[in-house]
């Protein structure tokens, strides 16, 4: 009898170790399921996702392995149709399986809140401020007179206008307007988000950042790009018929290349930018046979210095 108990304990420990190791491995794989980390804030989000995947895998594997063990080693013998032993309620077991999910929920909530605290999202206010979680310095970092090494002001300030159906970016420093979002790498950026018409969503998957843009509200949104390359900005909120066309390139480049592009764009005269929504609407309106419901006409193509 003692040998059987020892074997049961060893089996349980072996299974728990195997499930834990497998869950940790699956959680590590979650990093490869996402786009490259292109902003300082993306590391925090990826760590949170990896934690959730690890926890979910542990629960799933723990439950399924227990079921498989029961089916294989504790099944009734052939032609045994008798009832199992009568088991009444177990208060201890009920308390345990109620307490564990509650503790897990508090654990997840606490970790998620900690991530949002590190990112510095300040609730449902008009100002959405993301602190740099990696503590990168910028041109506005503390001087010798100030021992504080936190970022004081963003390096670049860019106005973002969302409208049906186009993204328009204005760089006040050189009075440049573009339909591509150019950003300097390893520098703090503040975007002033505005909507001309309806609710839009600013979402760059590689940055792991998303912010709703509310009409008649100016929302300041800060982050730090860290990986040079080309990424994609999409509208995360359905905004009408040509919603799928509301995308834009996001170019992260070195500060030298960024300022070179900005200076070059400032020398170009504004011209209408190519707008897919306007082109598709024009083709539809010119058809001899009109079908379907009337749609909202897209806004006129914006005048930009750099159409992208």
Digit-by-digit pLDDT tens for the chain (308 residues) are 678 778 777 888 888 899 899 999 999 999 888 888 888 888 888 999 999 999 999 999 999 988 988 888 778 888 888 887 787 878 888 898 899 999 999 999 999 888 887 776 544 343 344 445 544 333 333 333 433 333 445 578 899 999 988 899 999 988 889 999 999 998 888 899 999 888 999 999 999 888 899 998 888 888 889 999 999 999 998 888 888 889 999 999 999 999 999 888 888 888 887 878 777 777 776 656 566 666 777 877 887 887 76
For residue 184, the model assigns a pLDDT of: 93
Among 187, 175, 160, residue whose Cα is nearest residue 253: 187
Residues 6+ apart with CB under 8 A from 169: 158, 159, 160, 161, 177, 178, 179, 180, 181, 182, 248
Neighbours of 206 (CB within 10 A): 21
Judged by DSSP in three states, 50 sits in helix
For residue 288, the model assigns a pLDDT of: 60
What's the pTM? Answer: 0.74
219 strand-pairing partners: 193
Among 176, 201, 193, residue whose Cα is nearest residue 271: 176
The C-alpha R_g of the chain, in whole angstroms, comes to 28
């Amino acid at each position: 009898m003692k040998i059987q108990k020892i074997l049961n304990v060893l089996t349980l420990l072996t299974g728990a170790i195997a499930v834990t190791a497998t869950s940790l491995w699956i959680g590590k794989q979650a990093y490869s399921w996402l786009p490259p980390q292109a902003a300082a804030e993306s590391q925090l989000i990826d760590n949170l996702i990896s934690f959730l995947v690890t926890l979910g895998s542990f629960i799933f594997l723990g439950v399924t392995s227990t079921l498989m063990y029961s089916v294989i080693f504790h099944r009734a013998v052939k032609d045994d149709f008798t009832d199992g032993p009568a088991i009444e309620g177990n208060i201890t077991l009920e308390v345990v399986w109620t307490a564990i999910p509650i503790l897990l929920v508090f654990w997840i909530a606490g970790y998620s809140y900690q991530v949002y605290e590190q990112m510095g999202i300040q609730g449902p206010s008009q100002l959405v401020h993301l602190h740099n979680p990696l503590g990168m310095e910028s041109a506005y970092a503390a001087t010798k007179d100030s021992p504080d090494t936190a970022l004081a002001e963003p390096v670049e300030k860019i106005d973002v206008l969302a409208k049906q159906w186009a993204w328009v970016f204005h760089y006040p420093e050189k009075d440049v307007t573009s339909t591509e979002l150019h950003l300097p790498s390893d520098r703090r950026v503040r975007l002033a988000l505005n909507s001309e018409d309806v609710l839009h969503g600013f979402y760059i998957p590689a940055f792991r950042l998303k912010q709703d843009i509310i009409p008649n509200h100016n929302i300041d949104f800060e982050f730090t790009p860290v990986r040079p390359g080309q990424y994609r900005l999409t509208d995360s909120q359905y905004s009408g018929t040509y919603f799928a066309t509301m995308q834009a390139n996001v170019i992260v480049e070195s500060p030298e290349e960024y300022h070179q592009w900005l200076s070059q764009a400032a020398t170009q005269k504004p011209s209408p930018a190519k707008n897919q929504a306007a082109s598709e609407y024009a083709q539809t309106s010119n058809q001899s046979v009109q079908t379907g419901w009337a749609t909202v006409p897209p806004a006129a193509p914006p005048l930009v210095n750099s159409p992208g």
